[in-house]
Amino acid sequence: METCRSRWRGVLLLLLLLLVALIDCVRATASQTSLLSCASAEVEPNTNVVCTIRVRDTQQEPTMSFSVSDFSVVVTGTNSVARVTVSSIERGTDITTAVFSVAATHGTMLTVKVYFTATAGTEAYNPSGEVRNSGLTLLVLAQPATTFGRLACTDVNASQGLVLRESTECTVDVFDSLGSAAVVTASDVTFLEVNRLGSFSFISGKRSLVFTFQAPDDVSIHTTQFTLQVRFKSIYSTVMTSITFPLRYPTLPPSASYSAIHCDDDVRPVLCTVYAADAVGPVQFAADAFTVDIERWRGDGDVRIDTINDIYYIGNDSRAAGGVSSDDAEWYSNLGEFVVDVTANASALVPATRRADVGLLTFMKANNERIQVQRLRVRTRDEAGGDVAASPFYFHSGKVPIAAAATLRGCNTTVIRSTNATYCYIDLLSGISGDARYFTIQSSLSAAISDVTYVAYDAACRCRTLRFRYVAPLVSARADDYLAVDGVATTALVVNSPLRMNVLRTGPSSSSSITTSRADAAIVAVGLLFFGSIVATGMVLVVGRHRTRSRIRSGRAAKVREYERASSAAVQRQLAASATAASAGADAGPIASGNSASRRSDAPVSPGLPSASAKSGFVSNAAVEQERFHSDSD
């Protein structure tokens, strides 16, 4: 009995376990917690995008208990022209996934939605609906692209530029005719650097064109910048975008084996171009990376330039090429006699001539008095420390004089007596040397020419000058002497040559000189007597006239004084008479006073005196005898 009960208990337990397992199996089926994802958010037209449904149960655990019919896909687009293709749902390589693909023929924005449909009887705990991440958007880029955006490159701007041997990555957005994001391929565009420098590499073309530009190791043309251009092919070839940035040189030490100099000896100061480079290519020029020295040949005392380019030597001809010794022992440094200037060509005034790998070296002898054989040595400061290519450079310290660059200005005087001396001047122009060996001074009368001296600055012409002493020849009569100056190098007369000198003869003999002196003295005496008599007569007339004027003025003054004394005395007498009459009238009374007045009125008036009725203090000269005064002409 107990055994049967035990068996029934086991059967019930087994049924219970089977029921639980059945329920778990039902709940492990697919649900709307499944997850949607697509391989790419941006695709090209007619390109399939694979989307994956990661099947999950209600507990969001992966499950393989599903059917592809449990899911449905709905795709919508924003461009009605684009035809959208959606493949059927299939099981993926992973048994817990389902996959499908989406494609569109034109650029559009696709919205992908995936729905889960619940099995009948399970909706209570496993409802239908959109899976997670449903509504995913896919951008189908437009094609062909017709418009560029702004081209930009990494680590490159107007101030930094791109260094040779380095590369930069550039990006430019691309759009179609409607302004939508587009896609390009390597075959849709062309790349160009305007100077055909460097190389390009296509990276991608979705939404943005991405490429790299590799700068070259060296530049084959003279340029200071890179200009990159990108344009569409075919009918859109006129659409282009570009960017320009400076070309930079690497800051590396130059190598003597690859650096070089190039000099021009035809100008003064001498101009040399220094090219800095290493084994790979040009590098940034730095003045402190080179050493400059100028040396003089010890044997240049016997050197004279016959023509502008040729040299001949007197004496030993066993020299190196060109007659100049290459033995360093025969050279010594005279750098201190030169004015040397080293600058970077990157600072040149003309932008088109600026190159950062080039330096400018100019030098000129401070005292351009004599032409000497010199050589320029340019070395690098690296470990090798050797001469750069074309160093040493042999040159002459001065420029050979030519006739057109010199002017015979003249002499202190052009009229000179025989055997007298004066100084004459030759003005030097265009930086030619003042070496007297290259000038020939000749006189048509064989005058003595000496003391040829170089003057570094003549204030009269504000230039360099050759001064020489001219001694007039001995002549018996006045003569014209012609000074001719020519240059040895050209055998042509300098400007304003020949110059005419008027040479006068020396003084006559002593006897004729005495006769001439006596005649001259007689002429002088006669002249003195003649002009002296005229002067004396004039002085007598002037003195007599002056005395007459003085006598007349004295007479006038005496008459005036006499008249003034007479007038004063008359006034005094009148005043006295008036006082006496007044006293007498007071004693006799009014009648006496009237008689007195009658007597006074009847009294005669003396000539020349005022009447008694005249006012006191008033003097009239009407009765005064007028004196006739003579004018100065009497």
pLDDT digits (tens, 9 = 90+) for 453-494: 999 889 988 889 999 999 999 998 999 999 999 887 667 888
Phi-psi region of 196 (alpha: psi -120 to 50; beta: other; left: phi over 0): left
Q: By CB neighbour count within 10 A (0-12 exposed, 13-18 middle, 19+ buried), where does 351 fall?
A: exposed
**Type of residue found at 257:** S
Residue 214 domain-assigned?
A: yes
Residue 455 domain-assigned?
A: yes
- Do 441 and 347 share a structural domain? no
**Tens digits of per-residue pLDDT, 194-214?**
999 999 999 999 999 999 999
- Do 363 and 267 share a structural domain? yes
Q: What is the pLDDT of residue 298?
A: 84
- Do 265 and 203 share a structural domain? no
- Do 136 and 151 share a structural domain? no
Domains contained in the chain, number: 4
**pLDDT tier at 307 (50, 70, 90 boundaries)?**
very low
Task: Identify the CATH number of the domain in which residue 424 sits.
Answer: 2.60.40.10
Mean pLDDT of the chain, nearest integer:
82
The whole-angstrom separation of Cα 201 and Cα 213 is 7
Which residue in 45, 49, 39 sits closest to 75, CA to CA? 49
Residue 422 domain-assigned?
A: yes
Pairing of strands 240-248, 162-163: parallel
- Do 202 and 134 share a structural domain? no
Select the more confidently predicted residue: 360 or 616.
360
At which residue do the structure tokens 């040779």 appear? 164
Q: What is the CA radius of gyration of the chain?
A: 64
| Residue 499 near residue 408 (C-beta atoms within 8 A) | yes
Q: What is the pLDDT of residue 267?
A: 80
Q: What is the DSSP string of 242-270?
A: EEEEEEE-------TTT-EEEEETTSSSE
Domain that holds residue 71: 28-140
Q: What is the pLDDT of residue 27?
A: 52
| Residue 210 near residue 245 (C-beta atoms within 8 A) | no
SS3 assignment, position 344: strand
- Do 387 and 271 share a structural domain? yes
- Do 127 and 61 share a structural domain? yes
**pLDDT tier at 303 (50, 70, 90 boundaries)?**
low
The whole-angstrom separation of Cα 396 and Cα 575 is 120
Residue 126 domain-assigned?
A: yes
* 91, 111, 140 - which closes a domain: 140
Q: Which of 200-204, 559-563, 580-584 has the highest mean pLDDT?
A: 200-204
Residue 535 domain-assigned?
A: no
Q: Which residues contact 547 (CB under 8 A, 6 or more apart)?
A: none
Q: What is the pLDDT of residue 617?
A: 41
Residue 608 domain-assigned?
A: no
Q: Which of 33-47, 233-247, 507-521 has the highest mean pLDDT?
A: 33-47
- Do 369 and 293 share a structural domain? yes
Q: What is the pLDDT of residue 264?
A: 87
- Do 387 and 264 share a structural domain? yes
**pLDDT tier at 157 (50, 70, 90 boundaries)?**
confident
Residue 358 domain-assigned?
A: yes
Q: pTM surpassing 0.85?
A: no
Residue 22 domain-assigned?
A: no
Q: Which residues contact 363 (CB under 8 A, 6 or more apart)?
A: 269, 270, 272, 294, 338, 339, 340, 341, 376
* 396, 426, 446 - which closes a domain: 396
- Do 428 and 352 share a structural domain? no
**Tens digits of per-residue pLDDT, 102-137?**
999 988 999 999 999 887 656 666 788 999 999 999
H/E stretch holding 571 reads helix 510-602
**Tens digits of per-residue pLDDT, 593-621?**
444 444 444 444 444 444 444 444 444 44
- Do 98 and 156 share a structural domain? no
